[in-house]
Chains A and B, each alone.
Chain A
């Protein structure tokens, strides 16, 4: 079980309000990702759930039990930190065994569970090593091992992959997703990387300046962003925003067009423009075009399309996939 509910939760450090007021429900077994730019309060929110920070107001309950004033050790949650936070003076085996030891498990049980966790995480050959003798990826696995042995009601991940290189990040992302499939335990995951959010989450919570901008499945956020912030934050490359005439033609203050929803032609189209930079990624080509009517636009085109700097192209947005936003920035 791992149902987490936040009611009117707010947090201030002195006179600075980090989180004004948040209501959020995390269902049992869900993989929830908190995503947002740096300083949006996502890590603070996670630490409030963990109990590492005290709430200024509001209540937090886990499985219906009010834990607002309970110590982190009593909340039955496990956390994986960005810095791994392994105990440097203990071996891998002892690191993984630590929560079990604190829970007063017998040595037999500890040995068995540590062995199981090591097998699942490919750490069997490293059990007698110290964290300092491991690579970044292995260290993160130890941190995950330490989290899973205790069978917590939920896992909290605080940007666990930011210290890893790009290739390893991809692998670990997959491993964490697989772990979630296996364990089916609630996971709350904080990241500033919207790709991680899109690929891993059942539910994404987009945060900005301590407020929840939108909650939904990755595809919901992609297809129906509630406002300009979510529209711009979710999706890579970023959504193009066009104001003025072209927007007014659709009855909106601003229209948003995703780069993948624009057709490029060398002969005809709605907006004429000049190619600035073309980034050839192989499968795709990202073309940055300066149009006369709609300003600078990014287009995601087929990798086979050959365009060059300075070339004139014509762009046509897919009318069915234009997002319309009002003066207040909200979707129409």
Chain B
């Protein structure tokens, strides 16, 4: 009897999980469905069955240059992530292995910057970008994306590094390793799973960042997020084309996410369970 109850509970739980997953995934699914509709169909009302036309894709491809924002997205997300890791690895290393009384405060302070709404600093940052000639530049955007994600990167790496037993690093020191050798031969190989999931998660965050990319770029440095938003103006809304552009924009990151699921899940739930 108990067994039957358990099985029934399991079935209910599984069904509930599927429903929640579908609810979360539905906007993405509907975007993909809409992208295979004509503009006419798209505004006609709710329908899960598109005609399957590829005209929106053809138009997005021919009238707008998809490749340029795609390339910008790759450069900005990868560039900002690599830059963030270069800064964050030594920072997290120092905080994890030679903490001071202030380390926790610094971490909290870094994270607190993420609690502030981005729009609060829009003006100062816009003006700084304008004065330094960084508006619509890849360098400016790379730095911007690096800075906004840096607290999360430092925090994640710090958590990973804390998991590495200090005695192993002490053993390396006793074995004659210099600080550099200790980082290269012992710390980094042990931290690679952590660094990899941090890298993946940060690429996704940077790829999807829309607040700053839309406001600080126009064409030269505009990534896919800005590319999508360009479809909701000026001649009105083009749902099918917008959907096609969105699908094209999220496809690369979705595929990457799919293949790196294992690392990502570890990254997202890290520290929750040992």
- The main secondary structure of chain A at its interface with chain B is loop
What B residues does A86 contact at CB under 8 A?
168, 171
The answer to whether B190 touches A72 (Cβ under 8 A) is no
What A residues does B181 contact at CB under 8 A?
102
B162: min CB distance to chain A, Å? 16
The answer to whether A83 touches B178 (Cβ under 8 A) is no
- Measured in the bound complex, the distance between the Cα atoms of B36 and A293 in whole Å is 101
Interface residues on A, range: 20 to 34
What B residues does A146 contact at CB under 8 A?
171, 175
| A35-52 contacts to B (CB < 8 Å) | 50-52
The answer to whether B177 touches A73 (Cβ under 8 A) is yes
- Measured in the bound complex, the distance between the Cα atoms of B181 and A71 in whole Å is 14
The answer to whether B173 touches A73 (Cβ under 8 A) is yes
Asked if B45 lies at the interface with its beta carbon under 8 angstroms from chain A, I say no
What B residues does A253 contact at CB under 8 A?
none
Asked if B117 lies at the interface with its beta carbon under 8 angstroms from chain A, I say no
- Measured in the bound complex, the distance between the Cα atoms of B172 and A79 in whole Å is 10
Interface centre among B172, B176, B181 (most CB of A within 10 A): B176
- The main secondary structure of chain B at its interface with chain A is helix
Map CB proximity to A onto B144-172 as digits: 1 under 8 Å, 0 otherwise. Answer: 00000000000000000000010110111
Interface centre among B171, B173, B178, B186 (most CB of A within 10 A): B171
The answer to whether B168 touches A85 (Cβ under 8 A) is yes
What B residues does A72 contact at CB under 8 A?
170, 173-174
Identify the B interface with A (CB < 8 A): 165, 167-168, 170-178, 181, 185-186, 189-190
Map CB proximity to B onto A79-112 as digits: 1 under 8 Å, 0 otherwise. Answer: 1011101111100000000110011000000000
Asked if A55 lies at the interface with its beta carbon under 8 angstroms from chain B, I say no
Asked if A150 lies at the interface with its beta carbon under 8 angstroms from chain B, I say yes
What A residues does B189 contact at CB under 8 A?
89
The answer to whether B167 touches A73 (Cβ under 8 A) is no
Which B residue sits closest to A87, measured CB to CB? B186
Asked if A77 lies at the interface with its beta carbon under 8 angstroms from chain B, I say yes
B168: min CB distance to chain A, Å? 5
B184: min CB distance to chain A, Å? 11
The answer to whether B175 touches A98 (Cβ under 8 A) is yes
The answer to whether A79 touches B190 (Cβ under 8 A) is no
- Measured in the bound complex, the distance between the Cα atoms of B168 and A73 in whole Å is 14
The answer to whether A73 touches B178 (Cβ under 8 A) is yes
- Measured in the bound complex, the distance between the Cα atoms of B170 and A86 in whole Å is 11
Asked if A78 lies at the interface with its beta carbon under 8 angstroms from chain B, I say yes
The answer to whether B171 touches A81 (Cβ under 8 A) is yes
A326: min CB distance to chain B, Å? 43
- Measured in the bound complex, the distance between the Cα atoms of B174 and A99 in whole Å is 8
- Measured in the bound complex, the distance between the Cα atoms of B172 and A50 in whole Å is 12
- Measured in the bound complex, the distance between the Cα atoms of B185 and A98 in whole Å is 9
A51: min CB distance to chain B, Å? 8
What B residues does A50 contact at CB under 8 A?
170, 174
What A residues does B177 contact at CB under 8 A?
73, 98, 102
Q: Given A83-B165, A85-B165: A52 and B170 within 8 A (CB)?
A: yes
The answer to whether A89 touches B176 (Cβ under 8 A) is no
The answer to whether B171 touches A71 (Cβ under 8 A) is no
The answer to whether B171 touches A85 (Cβ under 8 A) is yes
What A residues does B186 contact at CB under 8 A?
87
Contact of A88 among B170, B173, B178, B190 (CB under 8 A): B190
What B residues does A83 contact at CB under 8 A?
165, 167
What B residues does A78 contact at CB under 8 A?
174-175
The answer to whether B176 touches A85 (Cβ under 8 A) is no
Selected A-B contacts with CB under 8 Å, 6 pairs: A50-B170, A73-B174, A83-B167, A87-B168, A87-B172, A102-B181
Which 7 A-B pairs rank lowest in CB-CB distance, beginning with the nearest? A85-B171, A99-B175, A102-B176, A85-B167, A79-B174, A72-B173, A73-B176
What B residues does A88 contact at CB under 8 A?
168, 190
- Measured in the bound complex, the distance between the Cα atoms of B236 and A111 in whole Å is 73
What B residues does A150 contact at CB under 8 A?
175-176
The answer to whether B170 touches A103 (Cβ under 8 A) is no
Which A residue sits closest to B189, measured CB to CB? A89
Which A residue sits closest to B171, measured CB to CB? A85
Other A-B contacts than A52-B170, A78-B175, 16 sampled, CB-CB below 8 A, are A50-B170, A52-B173, A52-B174, A72-B174, A77-B174, A78-B174, A79-B174, A85-B165, A85-B167, A85-B168, A87-B171, A88-B190, A89-B190, A98-B172, A98-B177, A156-B174
